[in-house]
A and B are shown apart, each in its own frame.
Chain A
Amino acid sequence: MARLRNKNRKVFSKPSVKKKAAPTVDHVTGDKIPKSFVFSRGKLPGSLRQLQMDLRKLMLPFTALNLKEKKRNNLRDFLNVAGPMGVTHFLMLSKTDAAPYLKVARTPQGPTVTFKINQYSLASDITQSQLRPRCPSDLYKNPPLIVLSGFGSGEQHLKLTTIMFQNMFPAIDINTVKLSSCQRIVLLNYNKDTKLIDFRHYSIRLQPVGVSRRIRKFVQNHQIPDLRSLQDVSDFITKAGYGSESEGDEEAATVTLPCDLGRVNRATSKSAVKLQEIGPRMTLQLLRVEEGLCSGTVIFSEYGTANEKKTPGKENQKNQGGEEDEDEDNDDDEDEEQEDDEEASE
């Protein structure tokens, strides 16, 4: 007699532990989340290797923190891996006798922007120079905000740089973003006179404003205050301590939060935004923009291309023409921020 199969029988199956795939698509905006690889071309000296590590941490969480590169890997190998993993940007560090260089490129065929690193400081140097360095544990769980300033709107190569940097970090939707997840900020400030770009990386901290210092410290740090010299608890609360010097500056930096953030910052009461520098500090100089991935035609070059050098007369003309254009352009600058929205233009 054939065994009757009980179709309703529930088969016990081990719940399969699926490895959570890294999100390739942002569930809010529907865009592809940009991912990056930070690696070096050629052997780097010790401090530059640390800089590379700092940059990797900066790009977290959408980068490979423990990317292992071998001497024999060349660009093609990285390209081959980048495709299936959805990596969109490469940050390449290299060093010559003159200076270290940083190349930012869009895979697979995108433009490459080459920067010369005039100066850099490592994250460890910066924390050593600070009195109270802070690094909360979940600092690198969310991608950073990016602020670009001073780039203006005229020149092509600057525009390209801004677009490149904006696309390197995932967009945020102001309607659904949680302010508690915005904890880091990357600032790129372009100085027109020196043509240098300052690159800084800060951590954001919110502090309630209007609360006396002692109470704030008491609540934030759980430090039990010393009440020996006081007659009454009311003395502790009402005693006017000397105001901090930066009270005036804070006026400009206060925000009203839409919701409670942490124990201290309440909604509808003002909080001050305080930034503390973490992470590497760099001074970059834009050198070259190439059409392809470290190849292709040169769209812009700081020092002029080889062709132009042959005819110095022509080059002078071109340069003069370029300078005139720059003067005419509006020196309009805005803080461009990484924001996205789902609306049509009007």
Chain B
Amino acid sequence: MVEETQVRDFGNRMNKRKSGHKKGGNKARKKQKQFPGMGERVKIDPRVKKFLRKKARDYNSDDEDTEEGLAKGVEDDNLLPEYVIAEDVGGEEAEELGNEEDSDEEGEGTLPGITKLGEGSRAFRNAFKSVIKKGASEDPLGPVLSGHKKLVAEKLAEEEVERKAKGDAKKEKKLVAEKGHVKPANFLDTHERFLISVATKGVVKLFNAVNKAQVAQKGLNPLRSKDAKVINKRKKDAFYGELRRAPSASSTVKVNTSEGDAEGGTPSWAPLRDNYMLTNPKMKDWDKKLDSGVEDDIGGMSDDSSSDED
């Protein structure tokens, strides 16, 4: 607990120092200079307060009613500049600047010198006001010597046009480069879901076929020649059966279905079907491959059997 308070104090101290710099730095410091007897910065002598209020009233009394000026004067010192800003910008800017100017010079002179300063300040204020009013024109260049203005304006306009042209060209290039690149949506839309279902069906078919083939084969030892024959036969039948049966079963589910012949009229044994070996191009190729494969097998098997007999 103690540590906490200590830390807090330290923090506060840091804050105080910083705020001292930023906030009322000028005023507070100047006041301290004026009244060196004062210990803390924040305390303002009531006399000074009164004086400042009077000054504010003086400034404000030119543009507004005395009532308002009085009302303003009653407010706190620190709020004065803010209140000033909240109103009309044109007039009050001058007031505020005038205030600040005043506070700066106030530190230098003594009390009697301030009244003269007030007059001078008023003159400055009027001049500044007129400048501000003129400068209200929306020239992007700002206050520039008239002769040079045109050249600068032209240059800036040129640069802008160039930048725009370059930007457009770059954008176009980017568009062409990215042509076709599409960011996918977060959700699964119907088409995607359909595709996933198609793929899933394919995988399921494959896994079922594998399952059948491998489970049926589990009991058999592939090295024994007798079993090898059985394995081969099983492989043949099971595999063809799966593939032949599959199109008739699944084509009803898919969208691009054949018109009617797959509804259940096709016999399940492959060679009985009309389109046996004709439709699936992969199958066709397979025949050629399989012939060579089978020959090898048969050769191998006969060798085995002969060696066994021996």
A271, chain B: closest CB distance, angstroms: 9
Q: Is A60 in contact with chain B by the CB < 8 A criterion?
A: no
The CA of A152 and the CA of B177, in the complex, are separated in Å by 35
B9, chain A: closest CB distance, angstroms: 43
The CA of A153 and the CA of B282, in the complex, are separated in Å by 10
Q: Which of A15-23, A64-72, A113-121 is the interface stretch?
A: A113-121
Interface residues of B in 210-236 (CB under 8 A from A): 210-211, 213-215, 217-218, 231-232, 235-236
The CA of A5 and the CA of B261, in the complex, are separated in Å by 82
Chain B contacts for A189, CB-based, 8 A: 195, 198
Contact with A along B200-213 (1 / 0, CB 8 A): 11111111111101
Which A-chain residue is minimally distant from B269 (CB atoms)? A346
The CA of A147 and the CA of B178, in the complex, are separated in Å by 29
Q: Is B186 in contact with chain A by the CB < 8 A criterion?
A: yes
Contacts A100-B180, A187-B198; A345 near B287 (Cβ below 8 A): yes
The CA of A303 and the CA of B232, in the complex, are separated in Å by 48
Q: Is there an interface contact between B282 and A330, defined as CB atoms closer than 8 Å?
A: no
Pull 24 A–B residue pairs with CB atoms less than 8 Å apart, ordered by A: A46-B177, A47-B177, A47-B181, A97-B176, A97-B179, A117-B180, A125-B184, A129-B185, A145-B203, A149-B254, A152-B256, A174-B209, A182-B203, A182-B206, A187-B199, A252-B197, A252-B200, A258-B215, A330-B275, A332-B251, A339-B243, A340-B289, A341-B286, A342-B232
Interface residues of A in 251-268 (CB under 8 A from B): 252-259
8 tightest A-B contacts by CB? A45-B177, A147-B202, A344-B294, A334-B247, A255-B207, A343-B236, A258-B214, A187-B199
Q: Is B281 in contact with chain A by the CB < 8 A criterion?
A: yes
Chain A contacts for B85, CB-based, 8 A: none
A338, chain B: closest CB distance, angstroms: 8
The CA of A111 and the CA of B181, in the complex, are separated in Å by 28
Q: Given known contacts A175-B213, A334-B250, what 7 new A-B pairs fall within 8 Å (CB)? A: A255-B204, A255-B207, A330-B258, A344-B236, A344-B291, A345-B286, A345-B287
Interface residues of B in 230-286 (CB under 8 A from A): 231-232, 235-236, 239-240, 243, 246-247, 250-251, 254, 256-259, 261-262, 270-271, 275, 277, 279-283, 285-286
A51, chain B: closest CB distance, angstroms: 8
B-side residues, CB < 8 A to A, are: 176-186, 191-192, 195-211, 213-215, 217-218, 231-232, 235-236, 239-240, 243, 246-247, 250-251, 254, 256-259, 261-262, 270-271, 275, 277, 279-283, 285-287, 289-291, 293-294, 297
Chain A contacts for B203, CB-based, 8 A: 145, 147, 182, 185, 204, 273, 275
Q: Is there an interface contact between B235 and A341, defined as CB atoms closer than 8 Å?
A: yes
A125, chain B: closest CB distance, angstroms: 5
Q: Is there an interface contact between B258 and A333, defined as CB atoms closer than 8 Å?
A: yes
A216, chain B: closest CB distance, angstroms: 19
Chain A contacts for B285, CB-based, 8 A: 163
Contacts A99-B179, A100-B179, A120-B182; A273 near B196 (Cβ below 8 A): no
Which A-chain residue is minimally distant from B187 (CB atoms)? A129
Q: Which one of B181, B206, B277, B297 lies within 8 Å of A339 (CB-CB)?
A: B206
Chain A contacts for B214, CB-based, 8 A: 174-175, 258-259
The CA of A256 and the CA of B214, in the complex, are separated in Å by 12
Q: Is there an interface contact between B215 and A174, defined as CB atoms closer than 8 Å?
A: no
Chain B contacts for A202, CB-based, 8 A: 196, 199
Q: How large is the interface on A (under 10, 10 to 19, 20 to 34, 35 or more residues)?
A: 35 or more
Q: Is there an interface contact between A345 and B290, defined as CB atoms closer than 8 Å?
A: yes
Q: Is there an interface contact between B200 and A253, defined as CB atoms closer than 8 Å?
A: yes
B261, chain A: closest CB distance, angstroms: 8
Chain A contacts for B183, CB-based, 8 A: 121, 125, 129
Number of A-B contacts (CB under 8 A): 205
Q: Is there an interface contact between B259 and A258, defined as CB atoms closer than 8 Å?
A: no
A151, chain B: closest CB distance, angstroms: 10
Q: Is there an interface contact between B280 and A153, defined as CB atoms closer than 8 Å?
A: yes
Contact with B along A184-209 (1 / 0, CB 8 A): 01010100100000101010100000
Q: Is A142 in contact with chain B by the CB < 8 A criterion?
A: no
Chain A contacts for B294, CB-based, 8 A: 342-344
Which A-chain residue is minimally distant from B186 (CB atoms)? A129
Q: Is A162 in contact with chain B by the CB < 8 A criterion?
A: yes
Q: Is there an interface contact between A187 and B180, defined as CB atoms closer than 8 Å?
A: no
Q: Is there an interface contact between A333 and B177, defined as CB atoms closer than 8 Å?
A: no
Which B-chain residue is minimally distant from A344 (CB atoms)? B294
Q: Is A326 in contact with chain B by the CB < 8 A criterion?
A: no
Q: Is there an interface contact between A153 and B250, defined as CB atoms closer than 8 Å?
A: no
Q: Is there an interface contact between B210 and A174, defined as CB atoms closer than 8 Å?
A: yes
Q: Is there an interface contact between A253 and B236, defined as CB atoms closer than 8 Å?
A: no
Q: Is there an interface contact between B180 and A120, defined as CB atoms closer than 8 Å?
A: yes
Contacts A275-B200, A333-B251; A99 near B271 (Cβ below 8 A): no
B228, chain A: closest CB distance, angstroms: 11
Q: Is A177 in contact with chain B by the CB < 8 A criterion?
A: yes
B37, chain A: closest CB distance, angstroms: 69
The CA of A174 and the CA of B287, in the complex, are separated in Å by 17
The CA of A126 and the CA of B181, in the complex, are separated in Å by 12
Contacts A129-B185, A200-B195; A45 near B178 (Cβ below 8 A): yes
Q: Is there an interface contact between B184 and A121, defined as CB atoms closer than 8 Å?
A: yes
Q: Is A56 in contact with chain B by the CB < 8 A criterion?
A: no
Q: Is there an interface contact between A179 and B280, defined as CB atoms closer than 8 Å?
A: no
A106, chain B: closest CB distance, angstroms: 14
Chain A contacts for B239, CB-based, 8 A: 174, 339, 341, 343
